[in-house]
Amino acid sequence: MFRGFRWQFIVLTLAFILVFAAAMFRLSRRAVPPPTPFIDAATTSAPPRQNQAAATAVAVASPIAGSRREADPVYREALIGAVRRLNPLFAHLNPVDNDISSLIFEGLFASNEYGEVVARLAEELVISADGLEYVIRLRDDIRWQDGLPFSADDVVYTFSLLSDPAYARISQAAQVWGTVELQKLGDHLLRFRLAQPLSSFTHLLTIGILPEHALRGTALPELMQHPFNLSPIGTGPYQLAALRLRGQNEIRGVELARSPIFMERVEAQGRYQIPSLHFHLYHDVDAALAAFAAREVLALGAGGARESLLALPSSQVYTQADSAVGMLIFNWQAPPFAERRARQALALSLDLTNLARENLGADLTFADSPYPPSASIYLGDAFWRSYDMAQAARLLDAADIVPSSADEAPTADSAAAEDELDSAGFSLLVEDSAPLRNLANAIATQWEALGFHVQVEAVSAGDLSHRLETGRFEAAIVTQRIGGDLDLYRYWHPAQFGKGRNYGAASDHDLADLLEKARREIYGDRRAALRRQFQLAFAEQAIAIPLYYPLYTFLVNEEITGLQLGYLASPADRFRGIGDWRLEAQLAA
């Protein structure tokens, strides 16, 4: 009997289904609470209108930037300074940028915990027998954080910026890039051709790569002010999620989120258990330490004296020798420093281990090599621990060097005291900081026991640099930054006097030969052997006197586990092993 109403019945049934579905959709919308805007903890006591103006979170416009769940653990670290450009080409100009950019971007290669270069975005490397050609096959499983594939075009674009003559004004490495030819051989195949062999070339390839598709046509001057610098896209394990602002212009925090694209890689499986990293920016160390003590942050990457950090509750202090060496250098153009036995005598007359313990404090430690101890090629020499005044006197006697007594010392107001080496002694130039000034005075005292009168000159950092560059010193205490490049050619080769950092005109044929061979050697094990020979010859000839290694201190809450510090080419290398870190409990914000 319903045959005549069949179509009306069907329409009525469909209408009922649509009404039911709409009602269920409205109920589901009501069940989900509206998102809560992020308000910085420092302003939660202010009225709502003031909160909104004082601290806001600017989410990064990205199709893959998801919001974190409230239960997810958050790593919070205090950084001292300001964010300027989250761009690997400029990150070396600002430590805060360098720290954060290292988590967003990757290079073709990276340094491992021993300071050795290992592949990152590169799949395979072939070096020609003459050391002039580097053919690199790129990984084909890499995607940018916006989902687009990584290719040789990105590398070509990045290195076109590095070779721009304008880049030489902000980076010494640009001098090398201006002599390197780069050719694209395929979508994932490149060839670099060098003007001369350079074994540390792969270290230059550790700089982060930029996405060509996001910056196409952007020249270097434009890139300095490009919006990309505050909305970066990389290939690294973490991506920018938000910038926290104070007012309209001041960035007071940076939030990073784990990159879903990176997590698809084989090497990421089962690792990177911390989904969010929040970096809180402070103007000074005291404010950062107060934030740590109040449990607002879980870590501090650059904080005051190490002794004061040890007293903070619920904390772990990780310490590693920085990639730098404090060195006492001589001006070989002033007598008697060109004489090997004089340099050996001056070294043997110093009780270096006790000098370091008594004068350097907790932020510097005794050095016994021109390389830091965390480097794979480090070879500490017992000569620097030797203290033998009798042997020192015999060496001076054999060299026919008879120091004048202190009674013959020049007065401090002598016109020649600064510029000329007086027969009664010499000056020791040092930066005017309490630990280094104390160390220099202690060294002068021990050298006076050998018969030399030594006048300590403590000057500002700028004056020290000028005096070194113009050769107006007899002996000086300087800090030589090694960084990721273990080639010491710039410090000790005779050709670097006047245009490099061989300020004292040190000149030894054997050392120069070892430095040149190591520069040309393409095989890592042979190069390491040459650099160990260099260290032995350095001690035997007493080229200069290693004094101290600066210490890098990393303060973290006891909830953080799995952390290890290896070779630190820069402080940003503390994040090298972040894939193995664990945050055992979420602390209250």
Both tokens of 579, joined, read 């894939």
Which of 68, 98, 216 lies closest to 153 in space, CA to CA? 216
Give the pLDDT of residue 13: 54
Same domain, 403 and 473: yes
Same domain, 135 and 226: yes
- Please tell me the number of Cα atoms within 13 Å of 188 on its side-chain side: 13
pLDDT tens-digit series, residues 38-71: 333 333 223 333 333 334 455 554 433 344 444 5
Is 39 inside a domain boundary? no
Is 40 inside a domain boundary? no
Is 14 inside a domain boundary? no
CA-to-CA distance for 517 and 75, rounded, in angstroms?
45
Both tokens of 215, joined, read 């910056």
CA 95 to chain centre: 8
Is 41 inside a domain boundary? no
Q: How far is CA 431 from CA 92, 326, 356, 411, 473, in A?
A: 24, 11, 17, 22, 13
Same domain, 567 and 441: no
Contacts of 322 (CB under 8 A, 6+ apart): 372, 549, 550, 551, 552, 568
Give the pLDDT of residue 222: 96
Same domain, 520 and 570: no
Contacts of 334 (CB under 8 A, 6+ apart): 421, 426, 474
Contact 235, 142 (CB under 8 A): yes
* Burial zone of 270 (CB within 10 Å; 0-12 exposed, 13-18 middle, 19+ buried): exposed
Is 181 inside a domain boundary? yes
Domain count, the chain: 2
**DSSP sequence for 563-584:** ------SSGGGGGTTGGG-EE-
- Please tell me the number of Cα atoms within 13 Å of 361 on its side-chain side: 15
Same domain, 272 and 399: no
Strands of the sheet containing 122-127, edge to edge, are 122-127, 133-138, 189-193, 181-186
pLDDT in tens for each of the 589 residues of the chain?
444 444 444 444 555 554 444 444 343 433 333 332 333 333 322 333 333 333 445 555 443 334 444 457 899 999 999 999 999 999 999 999 999 999 999 999 999 999 999 999 999 999 999 999 999 999 999 999 999 999 999 999 999 999 999 998 898 877 889 899 999 999 999 999 999 999 999 999 999 999 999 999 999 999 999 999 999 999 999 999 999 998 778 999 999 999 999 999 999 999 999 999 999 999 998 899 999 989 999 999 866 566 677 777 778 889 899 999 999 999 999 989 999 999 999 999 999 999 988 998 878 899 999 999 999 999 999 999 999 999 999 999 998 887 755 444 444 444 444 433 344 489 999 999 999 999 999 999 999 999 999 999 999 999 999 999 999 999 999 999 998 889 999 999 999 999 889 999 999 999 999 999 999 999 999 999 999 999 999 999 999 999 999 999 999 999 999 999 999 999 999 999 999 999 986 444 4
Same domain, 212 and 348: no
Give the pLDDT of residue 305: 64
Contact 491, 518 (CB under 8 A): no
CA-to-CA distance for 513 and 521, rounded, in angstroms?
12
* E strands, 352-423, in order: 364-366
Q: Is the dihedral of CA 213, 219, 222, 223 positive or negative?
A: positive
* DSSP label of 587: P
- Please tell me the number of Cα atoms within 13 Å of 462 on its side-chain side: 0
Is 134 inside a domain boundary? yes
CA-to-CA distance for 465 and 404, rounded, in angstroms?
30
Same domain, 165 and 288: yes
Same domain, 275 and 306: yes
Is 33 inside a domain boundary? no
CA-to-CA distance for 342 and 428, rounded, in angstroms?
16
SS3 17: helix
SS3 168: helix
CA 186 to chain centre: 33
CA-to-CA distance for 547 and 385, rounded, in angstroms?
11
Q: Which residue has the tokens 């070096």?
A: 127
Which of 303, 327, 325, 332 lies closest to 315 in space, CA to CA? 303
Q: Which CATH number is 154's domain given?
A: 3.40.190.10
Segment (H or E) for 320:
strand 315-321
CA-to-CA distance for 575 and 581, rounded, in angstroms?
9
**DSSP sequence for 495-526:** GGTTTSS-TT----HHHHHHHHHHHH--SHHH
Contacts of 447 (CB under 8 A, 6+ apart): 346, 349, 350, 454
Same domain, 533 and 563: no
User: Going by DSSP bridges, is the β-strand pair 299-300/364-366 parallel, antiparallel, or unpaired?
Assistant: unpaired
Same domain, 468 and 567: no
* Burial zone of 24 (CB within 10 Å; 0-12 exposed, 13-18 middle, 19+ buried): exposed
Segment (H or E) for 311:
none
Is 48 inside a domain boundary? no
Supply the range of the domain harboring residue 115. Answer: 56-320+554-583
Does this model's pTM top 0.85? My answer is no
In one-letter notation, the amino acid at residue 522 is I
* E strands, 259-314, in order: 276-282, 299-300
Same domain, 181 and 231: yes
Q: Which CATH number is 391's domain given?
A: 3.10.105.10
Same domain, 331 and 184: no
